[in-house]
């Protein structure tokens, strides 16, 4: 048993924290208010090598493990949840499919540019009629000579309009459900690819979310990731580790809300009612962090981690929702003012219970793992 | 026991329900997005007698019953929480007059409010005096037959648009709450300054103002009750208005639930409506149960207000506490039921979730409600 971070992880956390608190945090309120992409924060993250945390050094990345990735997202989210989700989606579901399923040629082509931040990655699985039931997706990829022609519409795509490459899931075969799905690496400048509606959201205002429309988009066979029919496996495996990132994002938001509530109580005085709320908040965050680190540790050590990643995502995001609501309650009227960090944290936190598998889907995954014979 | 509305109340409710469906619901998203006060809806409520609900007939109104007020607030809040405050704050700003006013004051001040010719507001909180209302710094000094008021009031719902403003101020030099008195300011004769409007998480169509009083003259005839009776009056008013906030929270939760319930019946995943999954069904059952429990507590509290029951302070605080906590949980779950669609502004539930939060904060935070309840229990 050893629940301390290694010196390497601790030192990595300190580095990310310095950047997050120094560069990212000061612009968080403005990014939220103006619904603007945090360019400066993403550029700073790229310069510090944070866009390629999980990518091996031979492909230009930092070559770090899942725990380092989790720590990176946690620190960024403590400063600005929008920045964190942009980096998270890029790093996990936007890049990891290539790391895990890409050919050597694909890795050499895409990874160095994703690692440097020259390219931003995104993940296009969800469709209007296919959310939790991802295997029912309808986007098609028709074989045509040396390539495929993609048609369909994707929704709720994070990094929409900013990504240079989308990992797109489409149906290549007549097979029902999961067996007919394949994954493709589609450059954003491909003819026929366009951005549809950009959604106005409750929170995460700095992170663009919207529709991706594919109309006769041609991609070469070289851009198919994995074998035909392997797409659903690619998606599910990417989401497993994506959940570690979302757990980190939830912990960062919860920690920020907790810290602000504690500072406010120190400043203005406190009675036992608020003391108890603060104690509950800290206890929830501490338990959630241990669960998230365990999932990351299992992943880093090549052990099965599906159940722990789902538990971490479920518990961390429910914790973030509860803690941000409690912190806002401690702050009262002042906290409900637009531009107050308290109301922003609460609006940001809600998305996390929904995306990368709603918490209902996490419960399905956990129960399935528990009941497996 | 009687859990039913009477025939007159049902008639009022049906009128409001129809107006809300036809005229308020279609405007709700726009009101939130533009954060503009819906003057058209105020006018609609005035024309249809809805703003007369807080007043008995002898003062130009149609009811004066807290049960009827709560019923009205609930119906409006189902579609638009900002609009529900038009009725709720008309009631809040009028209670001090109805509770502590002389017959002359009630006859003079109430009819324009009941007719909706004027909007009422209630100014108690200050920058340095929120939950600790006794610490207020606004001063009222008497010169002959008038008072001169100086101070700043914070988070005043409708303070910017009101024609009649009830202000609480210190008449003593000391900070003791035994010096507090209540005054009715009429905008034409006792004008106040609106310093700034807040941008808020929710109820964005309901203007929240900071108000500055600089040598504002108020006739002594507009003092409600005695000098020194103001603090007690402020608490008595909050006892009466808290069931209304409970009703607002209840309406918000019901509106979100009605939308989400319909959605889960229509949304297909895995070849079936998501409502057919037990995980979703359990959420629906919990939400409906919480709403039902809150509804009874809110209307029990309203009944206690109407009957001037001895335990009204405790039950009103319980209704506000329980209904607002319920609304926060229920709206958060309703966003969850809609998934990604719940999080975007093309759908109404994220607005309802943002609107719900303030019900846990205003008219006494829920921490204050717990203090009030515990004090009543331990007395």
Kindly list the domain boundaries of chain A, sorted by start residue.
Answer: 7-116, 121-229, 232-371
Q: Distance from B333 to chain A by nearest Cα, in Å? A: 10
Residue B201 has its nearest CB partner, among A132, A133, A336, at A336
Question: What DSSP string runs through B254-289?
Answer: HHHHHHHHHHHHH-EETTEEGGGSHHHHHHHHHHHH
Structure tokens at A4: 């301390």
Residue by residue, pLDDT tens for chain B (379 residues) are: 677 899 999 999 999 999 999 999 999 999 999 999 999 999 999 999 999 999 999 999 999 999 999 999 999 999 999 999 999 999 999 999 999 999 999 999 999 999 999 999 999 999 888 777 778 899 999 999 999 999 999 999 999 999 999 999 999 877 778 899 999 999 999 999 999 888 999 999 999 999 999 999 999 999 999 999 999 999 999 999 999 999 999 999 999 999 999 999 999 999 999 999 999 999 999 999 999 999 999 999 999 999 999 999 999 999 999 999 999 999 999 999 999 999 999 999 999 999 999 999 999 999 999 999 999 999 8
Within A172-324, strands assigned E span 181-187, 193-198, 209-220, 224-225
Residue A337 has its nearest CB partner, among B200, B344, B367, at B200
Q: Is B171 helix (H, G, I), strand (E, B) or coil?
A: coil
**Cβ density class B36-53: b for 16+ within 10 Å, e for less:** ebbeebbebbbebbbbbb
On the CB side of A335, how many CA atoms lie within 13 Å of its CA? Answer: 27
Determine, for residues B280 and A201 on separate chains, whether the beta-carbon distance falls below 8 Å: no
Instruction: Specify whether B146 is catalytic.
Output: no
From chain A, pick out residues whose CB is under 8 angstroms from the CB of B335. Answer: 202, 350, 354
**For A262-266, what is the mean pLDDT?**
96
Q: Can you tell me the distance from the alpha carbon of A235 to that of A108, in angstroms, rounded to the nearest whole number? A: 21
Structure tokens at B142: 């008497």
- The CA-based angle B120-B244-B303, given to 5 degrees, is 120
Q: Distance from B186 to chain A by nearest Cα, in Å? A: 27
Structure tokens at A119: 């390219």
Residue A360 has its nearest CB partner, among B279, B342, B371, at B279
Look up the CATH number of domain A121-229. Answer: 2.40.110.10
Determine, for residues B358 and A133 on separate chains, whether the beta-carbon distance falls below 8 Å: no
Determine, for residues A274 and B268 on separate chains, whether the beta-carbon distance falls below 8 Å: no
From chain B, pick out residues whose CB is under 8 angstroms from the CB of A273. Answer: 367, 370-371
Q: Can you tell me the distance from the alpha carbon of A189 to that of A167, in angstroms, rounded to the nearest whole number? A: 14
Determine, for residues A200 and B202 on separate chains, whether the beta-carbon distance falls below 8 Å: no
Q: Can you tell me the distance from the alpha carbon of B355 to that of B351, in angstroms, rounded to the nearest whole number? A: 6
Task: Name the CATH topology of A232-371.
Answer: Butyryl-CoA Dehydrogenase, subunit A; domain 3 (1.20.140)
* Segment (H or E) for B93: helix B81-100
Residue pair A92/A238 in contact by the 8 Å Cβ criterion: yes
Q: Can you tell me the distance from the alpha carbon of A162 to that of B66, in angstroms, rounded to the nearest whole number? A: 54
Structure tokens at A130: 């296919």
Q: For chain A, say whether B225 makes contact (Cβ under 8 Å).
A: no
pLDDT score, position B17: 97
**For A283-294, what is the mean pLDDT?**
96
pLDDT in tens, A127-161: 999 999 999 999 999 999 999 999 999 999 999 99
CA nearest to B321, candidates B258, B250, B224, B217: B250
Residue A354 has its nearest CB partner, among B336, B358, B365, at B336
Q: Can you tell me the distance from the alpha carbon of B246 to that of B66, in angstroms, rounded to the nearest whole number? A: 12
Determine, for residues A359 and B336 on separate chains, whether the beta-carbon distance falls below 8 Å: yes
Q: For chain A, say whether B276 makes contact (Cβ under 8 Å).
A: no
**For A291-320, what is the mean pLDDT?**
96
Is it the case that residue A338 has pLDDT exceeding 80?
yes
Q: For chain A, say whether B347 makes contact (Cβ under 8 Å).
A: no
pLDDT score, position B1: 66
- What's the full length of chain B, in residues? 379
- Of A46-50, A72-76, A336-340, B48-52, the range with the lowest mean pLDDT is A336-340
From chain B, pick out residues whose CB is under 8 angstroms from the CB of A85. Answer: none
Determine, for residues A338 and B361 on separate chains, whether the beta-carbon distance falls below 8 Å: no
Share of chain A above pLDDT 90, in %: 94
Distance of CA A265 to the CA centre of its chain: 32
| Chains A, B: CB pairs < 8 Å | 107
pLDDT score, position B213: 97
Mean pLDDT, chain A, whole residue set? 96
pLDDT in tens, B112-148: 999 999 999 999 999 888 777 778 899 999 999 999 9
Q: Can you tell me the distance from the alpha carbon of A363 to that of A315, in angstroms, rounded to the nearest whole number? A: 10
Is it the case that residue A1 has pLDDT exceeding 80?
no
Residue pair B181/B168 in contact by the 8 Å Cβ criterion: yes
pLDDT score, position A358: 96
Look up the CATH number of domain A7-116. Answer: 1.10.540.10
Determine, for residues A350 and B367 on separate chains, whether the beta-carbon distance falls below 8 Å: no
On the CB side of B316, how many CA atoms lie within 13 Å of its CA? Answer: 30
């Amino acid at each position: 048993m050893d629940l301390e971070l290694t010196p390497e992880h601790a030192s990595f956390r300190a580095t990310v924290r310095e950047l997050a608190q120094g560069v990212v945090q000061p612009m968080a309120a403005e990014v939220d208010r103006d619904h603007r992409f945090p360019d400066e924060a993403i550029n700073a993250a790229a310069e510090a090598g944070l866009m390629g945390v999980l990518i091996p050094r031979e492909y230009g990345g930092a070559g770090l493990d899942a725990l380092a990735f989790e720590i990176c997202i946690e620190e960024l989210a403590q400063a600005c949840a929008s920045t964190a989700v942009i980096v998270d989606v890029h790093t996990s579901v936007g890049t990891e499919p290539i790391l895990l399923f890409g050919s050597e040629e694909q890795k050499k082509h895409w990874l160095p540019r994703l690692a440097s931040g020259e390219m931003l990655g995104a993940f296009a699985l969800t469709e209007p009629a296919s959310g939790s039931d991802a295997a029912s997706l309808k986007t098609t990829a028709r074989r045509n000579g040396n390539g495929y022609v993609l048609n369909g519409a994707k929704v709720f795509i994070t990094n929409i309009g900013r990504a240079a490459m989308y990992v797109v899931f489409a149906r290549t075969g007549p097979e029902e459900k999961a067996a007919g799905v394949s994954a493709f690496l589609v450059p954003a400048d491909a003819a026929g690819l366009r951005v549809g509606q950009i959604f106005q959201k409750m929170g995460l205002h700095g992170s663009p979310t919207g529709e991706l429309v594919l109309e006769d988009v041609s991609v070469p066979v070289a851009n198919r990731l994995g074998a035909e029919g392997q797409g659903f496996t690619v998606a599910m495996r990417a989401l497993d580790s994506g959940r570690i990132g979302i757990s980190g994002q939830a912990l960062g938001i919860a920690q920020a809300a907790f810290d602000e509530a504690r500072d406010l109580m120190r400043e203005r005085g406190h009675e036992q009612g608020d003391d108890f709320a603060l104690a509950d908040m800290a206890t929830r965050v501490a338990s959630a962090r241990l669960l998230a680190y365990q999932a990351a540790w299992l992943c880093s050590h090549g052990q099965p981690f599906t159940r722990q990643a789902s538990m971490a995502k479920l518990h961390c995001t429910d914790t973030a929702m509860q803690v941000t609501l409690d912190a806002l309650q401690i702050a009262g009227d002042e906290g409900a003012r637009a531009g107050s960090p308290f109301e922003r944290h609460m609006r940001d936190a809600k998305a996390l219970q929904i995306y990368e598998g709603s918490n209902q889907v996490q419960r399905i995954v956990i129960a399935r793992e528990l009941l497996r014979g | 026991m009687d859990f039913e509305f009477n025939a007159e109340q049902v008639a009022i409710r049906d009128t409001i329900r129809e107006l809300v469906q036809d005229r308020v619901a279609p405007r709700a998203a726009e009101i939130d997005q533009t954060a503009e006060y819906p003057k058209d809806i105020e006018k609609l409520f005035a024309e249809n007698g809805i703003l007369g609900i807080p007043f008995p007939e002898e003062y130009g109104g149609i009811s004066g019953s807290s049960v009827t007020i709560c019923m009205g607030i609930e119906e409006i809040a189902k579609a638009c929480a900002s609009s529900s405050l038009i009725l709720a704050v008309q009631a809040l700003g009028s209670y001090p007059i109805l509770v502590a006013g002389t017959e002359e004051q009630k006859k003079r001040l109430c009819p324009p409010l009941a007719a909706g010719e004027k909007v009422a507001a209630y100014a108690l909180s200050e920058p340095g005096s929120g939950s600790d209302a006794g610490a207020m710094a606004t001063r009222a000094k008497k010169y002959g037959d008038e008072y001169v008021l100086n101070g700043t009031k914070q988070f005043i719902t409708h303070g910017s648009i009101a024609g009649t403003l009830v202000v609480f101020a210190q008449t003593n030099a000391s900070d003791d709450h035994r010096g507090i008195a209540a005054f009715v300011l009429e905008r034409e004769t006792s004008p106040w300054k609106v310093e700034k409007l807040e941008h808020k998480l929710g109820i964005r169509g309901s203007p929240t103002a900071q108000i500055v009083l600089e040598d504002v003259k108020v006739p002594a005839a507009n003092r409600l009750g005695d000098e020194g009776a103001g603090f007690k009056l402020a608490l008595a008013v909050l006892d009466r208005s808290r069931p209304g906030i409970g009703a607002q929270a209840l309406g918000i939760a019901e509106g979100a639930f009605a939308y989400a319930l319909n959605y889960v019946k229509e949304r297909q995943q895995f070849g079936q409506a998501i409502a057919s999954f037990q995980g979703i069904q359990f959420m629906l059952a919990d939400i409906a149960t919480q709403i039902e429990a809150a509804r009874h507590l809110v209307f029990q509290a309203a009944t206690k207000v109407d009957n001037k029951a001895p335990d009204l302070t405790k039950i009103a605080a319980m209704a506000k506490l329980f209904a607002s906590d319920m609304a926060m949980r229920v709206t958060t779950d309703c966003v969850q039921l809609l998934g990604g669609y719940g999080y975007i502004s093309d759908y109404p539930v994220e607005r309802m979730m943002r609107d719900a939060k303030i019900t846990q904060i205003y008219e006494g935070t829920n921490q204050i409600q717990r203090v009030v309840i515990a004090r009543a229990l331990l007395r």
